[in-house]
Structure 1
């Protein structure tokens, strides 16, 4: 029996849900309470990810700590922290956790409105967390997903390339650890692991969905295989705008 299920519309509805939730609080508290709105938007995205990800993984916020030559080092606070529940937890209270690198599957920086002028600082911050987790990669443990999720950002397509290229590159120092960036519901940026360049797409109404699907794909222990079209029902290839070469 043929299904009437429309995968493209399903994934597009993810964007609609996030945009609707964003506006719901803004309509009530206005534009002056950015801190509260930002925390609410982090919670929205965390709860959405929980609906898609395996219950084996815990989705919260918090810190990662590790022992380096007898001294404890700690990351800055992570907006969305995803880790494997099979590992021990140093500290937990509600959705707040402190964990060690071996358990970490993903870290995400969430922004309400990521302006192009703020890109360098945000890229540098999340990339430093990726560097903090480098030893875990080198030991053959996890290769965590590192991402930046912005609800609203640069919308002008003609000036996009000139406004973000140098700002993204300036936030990366010795190595790029970032997997994906959303600037808004339409602009999706991906850094393929085998290519030293960011690929920038105008994926209208699919940027949020592409971000979440790439997150799920990397967090999984097994490849998606023939299930991949279910998570990526729209080909983003013909929506590419340009590449950003990363010469490190």
Structure 2
């Protein structure tokens, strides 16, 4: 199986689908265009996630308040839902398995920081609700931002990681653990050192990569890994390119 080639075709598919609504309505209704881009990624994710995991958009509800709206809300279907109608869903924090913010384009680091703030706040809102449930690792849900296009370059990566540090404020609950920008730029937060063969905890660093035409594939399959890690770890070369990505490392920063 050529996983690298599959990742490249996935990038091409997302790129071709993302502008379908815009081509029909031009610039007359940007809200519909943005909602379509959310639909595209949700559809791709549904192809790969186990039946026990559902995807919608909506809110996480606590007794005193709701979260801010979540573009892609990944939740455990064995848990009860407070509200479900089409793609709109409302659940309690313990049902959440991941949250994703989707953007059409991120122009620069300042733009990223502004757009990622809601995601960091929502992650903290969810993870702080049940601290004992998530005590083993800094993050146990997928927290990601996906941008179809970007003006960011590799020389921006260190500043980008500094922005992630600022957003987190040394709080593991506010860590954005995955990000994809355009077709080739990807960030992952590692609890353990990916270059070490020995499992360890306490590493807690972001790594940024330049992965030509593979960022979307890494993003999507890391969602799968986050909810079905046992299966993925048993079949790593089916889910990720055999050559890995640490040789494509651009920058890194500690929590």
Mark yes or no: TM-score above 0.5. yes
- What per-residue deviation string (whole Å, max 9, x for no partner) do you get for residues 112-153 of structure 1? 101222111223211111111224563226921111111111
Residues 121, 172 of structure 1: CA spacing in aligned structure 2 closer, same or farther, 3 A cutoff?
farther
Per-residue deviation, 1:225: 2.5
Q: How large is the RMSD of aligned CA atoms in angstroms?
A: 2.0
Task: Provide structure 2 residue ranges, at least 5 long, that are not aligned to the other structure.
Answer: 193-202
Equivalent of residue 179 in structure 2, options 181, 191, 194: 181
Q: Which stretches in structure 1 are left out of the alignment for 5+ residues?
A: none
Q: In the aligned structure 2, how far is the partner of 1:144 from the partner of 1:163?
A: 25
Question: Which one has more relative contact order, counting CA pairs under 8 Å at least 6 apart?
Answer: 2
Q: In structure 2, what is the equivalent of residue 132 of structure 1?
A: 125
Residue-pair matches, total: 237
Do residues 42 (structure 1) and 34 (structure 2) align? no
How big is the shift at 1:165?
4.0
Structure 2 length-normalised TM: 0.85
Secondary structure, aligned partner of 2:163: helix
Q: List aligned pairs for 1:100-179, cutoff 5 A.
A: 100-116=92-108, 117-135=110-128, 138-140=131-133, 143-157=140-154, 159-161=155-157, 163-176=159-172, 177-179=175-177
Distance 2:103 2:253 in 1: 22
Q: Deviations over 1:82-136 (max 9, x none)?
A: 1111111101111101100111111000001012221112232111111112245
Query: Does the Cα contact within 8 Å between 1:137 and 1:143 map onto a contact in 2?
Result: no
Q: What is the CA–CA distance in structure 2 between the aligned matches of 1:119 and 1:164, rounded to whole Å? A: 8
2:8 aligns to what SS in structure 1? helix
| 1:229 matched to 2:227 | no
- 1:43-93, Cα deviation, whole Å (9 max, x unpaired): 0000110011011111000000112xxxx2210000000111111110111
User: How far does the alpha carbon of each residue in 1:178-220 deviate from its partner, in whole angstroms, 9 at most, with x for none?
Assistant: 2101111100011112433311100011100101111110112
Please, what TM-score do these two structures have when normalized by structure 1?
A: 0.88
Question: In the TM superposition, what is the alpha-carbon distance from 1:36 to its structure 2 partner?
Answer: 1.6
